[in-house]
Structure 1
Amino acid sequence: MLLVIAEAVIIFRQRKRYAAARNIILGKRGSSIKESELETKQREYSFNEIVKMTNNFDRILGRGGFGTVYHGFIEDIEVAVKMLSLSSVQGYQQFIAEVKLLMRVHHRNLTSLIGYCNEETNIGLIYEYMANGNLDEHLSRKNNREKSLNWEDRLRIALDAAQGLEYLHNGCKPPIVHRDVKCTNILLDENLHAKLADFGLSKCFAADGDTHVSTIAAGTPGYLDLEYTTSNRLTEKSDVYSFGVVLLRIITGQSVIIVREDTAYHISQRVNSMVAEGDITKVVDSRIQGDFDRNSAWRAVEIAMASLSVTSAERPYMRDIVTHLKDCLAAELARKHNFCDLQNEDSVEQFSVNLISTDMTPSAR
């Protein structure tokens, strides 16, 4: 009898959570999202349509606390379908937070919401598909990708991610803190253009003039701002810290945490020791094989280390980071342009030498 009662309570609570989810998605009373707003920007799909577009959920792209992400097609357009798990309370809360945020933000460096499913207990979100997966897959030395990212690729990805964060901090009123910036949450399309994803932990300031949000620390170890973990005061500089870790990963290709002889070493500690040697080629990912602008690389390392300052007040703002990364990219493009010019000059000189050394006398016929 007790087991039956317990099961009934669990089922009731799950249904209550799902009812709340539907209310928020459809904009019923108690939600800040209007139904008309949802209908004009995103389309509602039935569960049968979800089954059809995912070919009965046959290809999994990823899993998380919220549930599972599947590959699908809407006509000939590839999409990613995130379905909410029946049992995950954490996933439910993150799912709702993501819905709320994606209804109000639109930027080329943030993943786009295409539609949603809201049918009984089948609740899901449909996003644009990012063909090149996440950044972590490209930086990990265990990945099976044939070609590693070159220096220009890395700078462009860093700049894209920085511009997405800068929009959340300065383009949204009131500002939004992502709260879980990491390489697995930076997705890449077929042209390696980067977009921030997974807004389940994001927090919005109560008012435009606010400087922080008081909340229990959440995020990913290694990327998490130490000042935030001790004070529980979340600011935009917490995202800056996490981005600094991402930038070091982009530069070095190394893991965030390495354990040696029972001691854990953070990537910033390892980079600090390498910087002290004064040789930038030992800092930058060896897979690039030295093919990068030295000044650009030093500048990128300086940006990353400044972002990781222990005190948040000493960290730059995302708008400043965007400016500096544009300078880094410009320096690398200039180097490549000059290299091409030199190659062209060498080709012209070689062609001239060949003309002079060639016997120009007509051959006998």
Structure 2
Amino acid sequence: MFPHFVGFSIVFFAILDTSLVLSKTDAPDVSALRVMYGSLNSPSQLTGWKSSGGDPCGQSWKGIKCSGSSVTEIRLSDLGLTGSMGYQLSSLTSVTYFDLSNNNLKGDIPYQLPPNTLHIDLSGNGFTGGVPYSISQMTDLKYLNLGQNQLSGQLSDMFGQLPKLTEMDLSSNSLSGNLPQSFGSLSSLTTLYLQNNQFTGPINVLANLSLDDLNVKNNQFTGWIPSELENINNLQTGGNSWSSGPAPPPPPGAPSAHASRHSTKGGKEGKRSALSGAVIAGIVLGILVVVAILIALLSRKSSSASSHYLDEVRLSQRRPFTPLSSQELSNDLRSDICKDYKELKSLDSSSAIDVRALQTSPSIGLKPPPSDRINSFNDAEFENRLKVKKSTSIRATCHSLADLQTATGNFATGRLLGEGSIGRVYRAKYADGKVLAVKKIDSSLFQRGELGNFTAIISNISKLHHPNIAELVGYCSEQGHNMLMYEYFRNGSLHEFLHLSDDYSKPLTWNTRVRIALGTARAVEYLHEGCSPSSVHKNIKSSNILLDMELNPHLSDCGLANFHQSTSQNLGVGYNAPECTKPSAYTMKSDVYSFGVVMLELLTGQMPFDSSKPRSEQSLVRWATPQLHDIDALAKMVDPALRGLYPPKSLSRFADVIALCVQLEPEFRPPMSEVVQALVRLVQRSSMNKRGEDLGASRRMDDFDY
């Protein structure tokens, strides 16, 4: 009988173990909730929650509802919570109900919220900043409540892709400026609360919406209340500066669909019938003439213009855009996000980009095959390139908003390259083949009445001239839109080379990694010691190091440090120096630390923070630093993509520089000029030839030295 009992026990525990495994919550959801718990200051009222370990679905964490192994609802209202919501909300891909209303949460609303949410309620907190861009991608969103916070600035024109939104509450904030034109696209909206803000201008954009409940009280709206809104069941308009007297008549022949739906049998219908047949005939004839002219003009331009948008439209249909949340992404999300995210913001005036190839390539925006992607060059050529001085005659030119709307397809989703910490980046294509990356800065970052600051920012950025710094080529400041223009780099960022693996990628060789580090170090040295006044970058990370066709590095985001107001959303865990607990804590030595983290990425090929790894290995700096002076451990840390093809002494010296840069105490970190000199010595000692650069070589490179 005993053998039968043993067999039964084994089967029982196997079944039990299987059920436990099946009940465990998806790893990305667990990681995101742990981060949220810590960001909320680990409150005791969140019973069941844990900062490490735990199973939200299997252990019934307070306020969490699941379906299978996925978290689907987060209901944490009226709990007296403090702190913030964390930086990994975009990992919660199955969450459809997200409610943290009536708490004491502070700071900016994260740029990335759960991407597939239907119901968002963050009202009754102390959130500052603006409405996050990621909301514009939530095409299934039905309910949005951000009322009773401290949001400020103008609303971005970001509501054009929310066809299912039925109720929106932005009341009791400090939002300003005109209502965005994309409000007119909210075809399902029935309830809109905008009261107690500082909105200005007319509300005509709301005229054709199917509203039943509209409150615009206590703003600074002007003009007339559209007649189409007069039949709304619940309309509140007091406390504004409406114009007195009768409203001007609507344009001839342009009756409102909304008005016809809500009008009574008399009134407007009677007014329409008063038009004589001759007048109606004249109006119709005029419209036909205008339509004929437009068709003729469009037919002449369609063949050339349509080709500029074809590639982006196909790409947008093939995959949705996913904003980059931060470097703290789990492995199962990383590849998809890396493919979508290309924050291409830089210019190298000396790089030989083949414009004709960009114009005619059928796969614009995709990585070219390896043979077209990497051109190796020897050390002498590299040193010569670094010493070449760029022409300082380049000046940023002013572009009109109309031209940029044409070049970007009216900022179409298919033209979206990515979203950064201060705004979105679009690809602009012109008829002459010119391709630019347009950085559209979030208007909420500009305080009301301080547009002059943007002019000063343009002036400061235009003064930056260095072979390894992205230079500004254009700008636009119209109608509340502030944009910066840079040249578009097809090779993307260092982040993509190191962390994206696909059929077109070729691992960076050791020589190239050292040269990328040196070029980037020269750029930072120029900001710290070559500029007058000196400049702190505050945003050094691999996604801001762009690579030209010859893999020369170009540091982007230079001159934009003032925009980075929130350290928690600026670099993310893994890049921030330990002392950077608030924006004012950033110094040049903080930049040195972040650069050291980039060097660690180059050495190991690993992400600065990876929540999918064991806890002791999640932070790259904490895991790697104790091993940087251990020869045996160092050899095991090297990026496997190098396949052992590197000189050991060079690796050791490279690790020595990293160890200096990522020291905990800022005063012990070297200035960037010393970092540059150390890397220059590595290049000068190099005896690596092109045979050594070939990753297909069958021999190891232990006999080479730097």
Same fold (TM over 0.5): yes
Q: What letter corresponds to residue 530 of structure 2 in structure 1?
A: G
- Whether 1:70 and 2:434 are equivalent positions in the alignment is no
Q: What letter corresponds to residue 440 of structure 2 in structure 1?
A: M
Q: 1:143 Cα shift? A: 5.7
Unaligned 5+ residue runs, structure 1? 16-38, 205-214, 341-365
* TM-score, normalised by the number of residues in structure 2: 0.39
Q: How does 1:185-334 map to 2 (within 5 A)?
A: 185-199=544-558, 201-202=560-561, 219-220=570-571, 221-229=573-581, 232-259=584-611, 260=613, 265-275=618-628, 277-279=630-632, 280-332=634-686, 334=687
CA spacing shift, 1:273–1:88, aligned 2, 3 Å? same
Q: Which string of whole-angstrom CA distances, capped at 9 and with x for unpartnered residues, describes residues 226-254 of structure 1? A: 13438954321111011001110111101
Q: Distance in 2 between matches of 1:254 and 1:171?
A: 31
Q: Which string of whole-angstrom CA distances, capped at 9 and with x for unpartnered residues, describes residues 107-155 of structure 1? A: 1211111111222233311112122111111111556642111111111
Structure with the bigger percentage of helix: 1
Secondary structure of 1:41's partner? coil
Secondary structure of 2:631's partner? coil
Q: 1:170 Cα shift? A: 0.6
Q: Distance in 2 between matches of 1:59 and 1:163?
A: 32
Q: Distance in 2 between matches of 1:203 and 1:86?
A: 14
CA spacing shift, 1:307–1:120, aligned 2, 3 Å? same
- Whether 1:179 and 2:368 are equivalent positions in the alignment is no
Q: What letter corresponds to residue 516 of structure 2 in structure 1?
A: I
Q: Report the structure number with the largest CA radius of gyration.
A: 2
Counterpart of 2:484 in structure 1 is 125
Q: 1:10 Cα shift? A: 3.3
Q: 1:278 Cα shift? A: 1.9
Deviates more, 1:245-254 or 1:49-58: 49-58
Counterpart of 1:6 in structure 2 is 196
Q: Which string of whole-angstrom CA distances, capped at 9 and with x for unpartnered residues, describes residues 150-195 of structure 1? A: 1111111111111110000011112100011111111111221111
Q: Distance in 1 between matches of 2:428 and 2:554?
A: 19
- Whether 1:79 and 2:433 are equivalent positions in the alignment is no
Whether the 8 Å CA contact 1:178–1:202 is kept in 2: the answer is: yes
Whether the 8 Å CA contact 2:520–2:553 is kept in 1: the answer is: yes
Q: Distance in 2 between matches of 1:113 and 1:73?
A: 17
- Whether 1:113 and 2:466 are equivalent positions in the alignment is no
Q: Distance in 2 between matches of 1:287 and 1:231?
A: 36
Highest RCO, 1 vs 2 (Cα 8 Å, sep ≥ 6)? 1
- Identify which of 483, 507, 511 aligns with 1:148: 507
Q: Distance in 1 between matches of 2:557 and 2:196?
A: 34
CA spacing shift, 1:314–1:230, aligned 2, 3 Å? farther
Q: Which string of whole-angstrom CA distances, capped at 9 and with x for unpartnered residues, describes residues 275-318 of structure 1? A: 46522431221101111121111111110111011112211111
Secondary structure of 2:533's partner? coil
Q: 1:4 Cα shift? A: 5.8
Q: Distance in 1 between matches of 2:626 and 2:586?
A: 30
Whether the 8 Å CA contact 1:296–1:329 is kept in 2: the answer is: no
Q: Distance in 1 between matches of 2:680 and 2:558?
A: 25
Q: Distance in 2 between matches of 1:337 and 1:125?
A: 39
Q: 1:322 Cα shift? A: 0.9
Q: Distance in 2 between matches of 1:232 and 1:113?
A: 26
Q: Distance in 1 between matches of 2:610 and 2:619?
A: 7
- Identify which of 408, 412, 417 aligns with 1:61: 417
* TM-score, normalised by the number of residues in structure 1: 0.72
CA spacing shift, 1:152–1:262, aligned 2, 3 Å? closer
Deviates more, 1:244-253 or 1:187-196: 187-196
Whether the 8 Å CA contact 1:177–1:202 is kept in 2: the answer is: yes
CA spacing shift, 1:136–1:14, aligned 2, 3 Å? farther
Q: 1:99 Cα shift? A: 3.0
Q: Distance in 2 between matches of 1:143 and 1:182?
A: 22
Whether the 8 Å CA contact 1:65–1:88 is kept in 2: the answer is: no
Secondary structure of 1:62's partner? strand
Secondary structure of 1:10's partner? strand
Q: Distance in 2 between matches of 1:172 and 1:53?
A: 34
- Identify which of 50, 62, 65 aligns with 2:404: 50
Unaligned 5+ residue runs, structure 2? 1-170, 173-192, 202-218, 222-392, 694-706
Aligned residues: 303
Q: Distance in 2 between matches of 1:265 and 1:14?
A: 50
Whether the 8 Å CA contact 1:44–1:117 is kept in 2: the answer is: yes
RMSD, aligned α-carbons: 3.4
